[in-house]
Amino acid sequence: MSSIEFNPTLREVQQDPYPWYRRLRDEAPVYRIPALNAYGLFRYEDCKHTFLHPETYSARDFITQAFGDLDPVPETPSLIAMDPPAHTPLRKLAGQAFSPAVTRGLEPRIKSIVNGLLDEIMARGGAFDFVADFAAYVPVSVTAELLGVDRSQRENFKIWTADLLNAANRASLTPVDVERIRKSVAELRAYLEQTIAERRADPGEDFISLLVKAEEGGDVLTSIQVLSIAVLTHFGGSETPSHMISSAFIALCENPDALTLLRRQPNLSANVIEETLRYWSPVNLVFQTAVHDVQVHGVTIPAGAYVLSYISSANRDERRFDEPERFDILRDAHHHLSFAHGPHYCPGAALGKRMGAIALEAVMERMPELHRLDPVTDWLPSLWVRGARSLPVAY
């Protein structure tokens, strides 16, 4: 019987959960977390298994866990909260808007967005917040571009994004905060509904137009399904890449040999992003629900119980990765689980990784002396997200 007492709601655990993960993988790979009334899985193969077996580990409660009554599109199941076979045709339709050609077509615009942000930062002076002034703006700007958001609405879009992302922390928010988020969610939805109607009447080549035009075996997406996928893309495409970009720079600062190597070989930026995703997964865990009683390592997880697949622990499992506690930009880290696996593998993964690599390349080229001003990272107080709250830097 393990003596470990793991409580991921505690601030000290959220600041550095990795020693806890190591003990849990060894002593209690299936652990009932009293604070969350849920079962945590911490080994690589166990987490991967849940993604491959939706008949046992259902995604049905993901949106309920993430948004509760702040769900922007409660009328239809979200793609991320559906299981095969119902999930499969919708995923095929949505995937058409994330084709390699779409990603390649966005590259010039991503480079323009990144360099435009760096122009603004450099015009203001030599110090800035890498998170608030850069990493957070890159993905939300690219997502706005992807969705075809009108330029007059870009600032509103950023506000709506921040509030939607904060909905996941609703349990710790004040009633005033919750009502502000509710208002933002309603405004975001209204804007996207109007955009979808316009694209149906006059489609272009943006993401929403591609969703509207998507067809697979005679199936097409309804307007409410397009809205749901657009919101999910907006949510996933804004949060994860932001933390990925800032965490990559933090990891480089903490590993000067890797930083020196990247400066010598800028083409390693894609490797840096891949290893960052493994080393500091922007998402700590994935919410699932046990469909029936299941035995894992001698522990019975009862039907209906919440199961948390801790991908941030799986990515450092010694059973899968050599020297997992070492940040190594030359390793093959492609097998990490930061974008899930199987049917729910993130359709925007390639775009997100390319966006991160472009941002990192531009920063390294234009700010070769960029360095952090505070050696201690203030990580966000969050159960499920791993990212810096702020990162003061100078160049």
Model confidence pLDDT, tens digit, residues 51-79: 999 999 999 998 887 788 899 999 999 99
CB 200 within 8 A of CB 212: yes
CB atoms within 10 A of CB 352: 25
- CA 45 from centroid of its chain's CA atoms: 21
Q: How many CA atoms lie within 13 A of 190 on its CB side?
A: 9
pLDDT at 353: 95
Q: CA nearest 73: which of 305, 193, 228, 246?
A: 228
Residue 12 corresponds to which amino acid?
E
Residue 175 corresponds to which amino acid?
P
Model confidence pLDDT, tens digit, residues 265-317: 999 999 999 999 999 999 999 999 999 999 999 999 999 999 999 999 999 99
Q: What is the token pair recorded at 381?
A: 């107080």
194: CB partners within 8 A, 6+ apart: none
116: CB partners within 8 A, 6+ apart: none
> Alpha carbon of 242 to those of 104, 133, 183, 210, 247: distances in Å?
20, 11, 24, 25, 9
Q: What is the Cα Rg of the chain in Å?
A: 21
Check: pTM over 0.75? Answer yes or no: yes
Q: CA nearest 17: which of 389, 379, 295?
A: 379
> Alpha carbon of 366 to those of 241, 266, 361, 395: distances in Å?
20, 12, 9, 9
Instruction: Enumerate the H helices of 202-222 as residue ranges.
Output: 207-213
The correct answer on CATH 3.40.350.10 for the domain covering 68-283+330-394 is no
- The one-character DSSP state at 373 is S
Q: What is the mean pLDDT of the chain?
A: 92
Model confidence pLDDT, tens digit, residues 163-194: 887 787 777 788 999 999 999 999 999 999 99
Task: Indicate the pLDDT class of residue 334, thresholds 50, 70 and 90.
Answer: very high
Phi/psi at 40 (5° precision): -100, 140
pLDDT at 2: 65
Taking the CA atoms of residue 72, residue 76, residue 77 and residue 79 in that order, the dihedral angle to the nearest 10 degrees is -80
Q: CA nearest 46: which of 253, 255, 297?
A: 297
Where are the domains positioned within the chain? Answer: 68-283+330-394
Q: What is the token pair recorded at 290?
A: 């046990």
Model confidence pLDDT, tens digit, residues 79-120: 999 999 989 888 888 887 788 888 888 899 999 999 999 999
Residue 198 corresponds to which amino acid?
E
